[in-house]
Structure 1
Amino acid sequence: MYMGHFAIALGARRWLRSLPLAWLLFASIEPDLHDALGSWLPALGIGEATHSFPGILYAAAAVALLTALLFRRIGLALGASLLVLSHVIVDYLTSWLPLWHGGPHAGLHLYAIPWADFMLETTTIGVGLALYARSPDLRRPARAGLVAMGMVMVGLQAVWNFSMASG
């Protein structure tokens, strides 16, 4: 589910204020976007490589280069690439993924244990929003909406874990 990835992006906002929030959200789910692109256009041959170590290193480097070119700051490029890398680190907790194309699979596969995945995702959402709340550029009225945002994110995660997984 994307809620944990988005929460990490929101938490990173505290340190990467010069990047638009949309860019942080993009970087946090870039491997899934690549995965979807490969599903829509099988001729690209992307397949399962998007979440493998070589695939994620390539994606992190590409996002870093694009960020450096667009925003002209190496620190921001490094931060965006770390968001891409965080995606797969978290996915190895929740999923069962190949280490490389055709290689062995690894991960805790918490999706198979919905309550455990829900606890991990909810904790990630809480930490991400707590960090985001401390972002110096976040205005006071927006802070009040963080509780509602957290409730929506946790609610969507609950639907994912307890409704969709069982059906």
Structure 2
Amino acid sequence: MYMGHYAIALGARRWLRPLPMAWLLFASIEPDLHDVLGDLIPALSIGPDTHTVAGAIGAAIVVALLAAVLFRQAALAVGSGLLVLSHVAVDYLTSRLPLWRHGPVVGLHLYAVPWADFVLEALAIAIGVSIYATSPDLRRPARAGLLGMALLMLCMQAVWNFGFGSH
């Protein structure tokens, strides 16, 4: 899931308004950022664990603790941790990932069926943007741009699924 992670962050904004959008986006893709860090510094030996159940729980706890220190509200910390967990949960729909290091590999692997992945991502975008649109702190001019943002997200996902001969 690519744009879907961001869509989940947008939807979470409805309930986690005090958190900066950058923080929500960070939490929603933290396992991928951790994955990149593991690739850049192999000595850390974290690459194989970033998308496992244990890795996601560990990352969620760290992100929640950081949020608790930075934002000083338990609900915001819990929400941040849940965003991290959501990443891996939905990745089990789009990918095939190990449950733990050297453990069984599970998942629907919708990436192998690009149209099915696109439909799932489009649904996530529609739901996330719709929920975000109901956020009481969203100003009227920003609401006007939501359709454009959703269309851009859909276009980016379409390019990933169908464009440029990438598969």
Query: TM class by shorter-chain length?
Result: over 0.9
Report how far residue 166 of structure 1 moved.
4.8
Distance 1:152 1:105 in 2: 33
Give yes or no for contact 1:114–1:165 (8 Å, CA) kept in 2.
no
- Residue 147, structure 1, aligned to residue 108, structure 2: no
Give yes or no for contact 2:11–2:130 (8 Å, CA) kept in 1.
yes
Give yes or no for contact 2:97–2:106 (8 Å, CA) kept in 1.
yes
Q: Which runs of 5+ in 2 are unaligned?
A: none
From the superposition, tell whether residues 111 and 164 of structure 1 become closer, same or farther in structure 2 (CA, over 3 Å): farther
Give yes or no for contact 1:98–1:105 (8 Å, CA) kept in 2.
yes
Q: What is the TM-score normalised by the length of structure 2?
A: 0.98
Specify the alignment match of 1:130 in structure 2.
Answer: 130
Q: Which runs of 5+ in 1 are unaligned?
A: none
Report how far residue 165 of structure 1 moved.
6.2
Specify the alignment match of 2:89 in structure 1.
Answer: 89
Letter in 2 for 1:159: V
Q: What is the TM-score normalised by the length of structure 1?
A: 0.98
Distance 1:43 1:64 in 2: 25
- Residue 159, structure 1, aligned to residue 146, structure 2: no
Specify the alignment match of 2:72 in structure 1.
Answer: 72
Letter in 2 for 1:83: L
Letter in 1 for 2:122: T
Specify the alignment match of 1:105 in structure 2.
Answer: 105
Letter in 1 for 2:18: S
Give deviations 1:111-153, integer Å, cap 9, x for gaps: 0000000000000000000000000000011001000000100
- The number of residue pairs the alignment matches comes to 167
